[in-house]
Structure 1
């Protein structure tokens, strides 16, 4: 599975929002500039995330977008599914349960049986990781890099 640019931008934006003190709302223009995301595209993404219950918004002075719940309660899987839909690697495992054109017998199809394991593993990983995990890992790597001493001349 390769995530789209839309999901990549969403993860960047959510990472930024998760780092804001006290879940302060952030204006779309500020978020777009900070993360180098096209503003119109970001508006569409944030609207999808708001409808999906990941974000909340306030209008007016002091308004903007903020997380609707703590970052440690927002799974990466929920974000990906809101923006990408199914994560199933083959159509017959997706929520629409479309039949694969090449498949003669779903019950014995080796591709379906193997991809079912892949689908379960991917879902388990995506659902076990949270936005807070992403922020924490990123900060840990930044900390490591700050402590690296380069002795090259």
Structure 2
């Protein structure tokens, strides 16, 4: 189960990415729209800015805009920012690998093998799916038609 913080981050990113190009979304507007505590949302947006996904603008038409194109921001990347490693076991993590304390043999561990299968499938989907895919409602594994790529 993902945390509220991660869920709110996805809501904010989807809202900001759906705005007309160059139009900034304020944290107040996002907070009101989704009933997210404003101070909590500000921290989330700051984390996304530090990660190089969002940019903030000051002034009358200030707010947040995408720093990177929505089709380059994966669900897996965002989830890792807020949840840390996605692996269900430390011995499966690529970024925070640690041998399990009671492990006799990783090569022969049935638990590692079975959780590894589900983790690999989940990781493949989360790392392949982007904010842009979600906005376009593109089915997993479907290439985006060339004419849609030209207009994006």
Structure 2 partner of 1:64: 63
Structure 2 partner of 1:100: 100
- Once the two structures are superposed, the pairs formed by residues 34-53 of structure 1 within 5 Å of their partners are 34-53=33-52
Deviation, structure 1 residue 29: 1.0
User: C-alpha separation between the residues in 2 aligned to 1:136 and 1:69?
Assistant: 17
Structure 1 partner of 2:131: 131
Deviation, structure 1 residue 125: 0.3
Q: Which has the larger radius of gyration?
A: 1
> TM-score, normalising length from structure 1?
0.82
Q: Mean alpha-carbon deviation: is it higher for 60-69 or for 9-18? A: 60-69
User: C-alpha separation between the residues in 1 aligned to 2:54 and 2:88?
Assistant: 28
User: C-alpha separation between the residues in 1 aligned to 2:86 and 2:6?
Assistant: 12
> Which residues of structure 2 form unaligned runs of 5+?
139-152
Kept after mapping to 2: 8 A contact 1:54/1:79: no
User: C-alpha separation between the residues in 2 aligned to 1:122 and 1:92?
Assistant: 16
Count of aligned positions: 137
Kept after mapping to 2: 8 A contact 1:17/1:23: no
Question: Please, what is the CA RMSD of the aligned residues?
Answer: 1.7
Deviation, structure 1 residue 102: 3.6
Structure 2 partner of 1:141: none
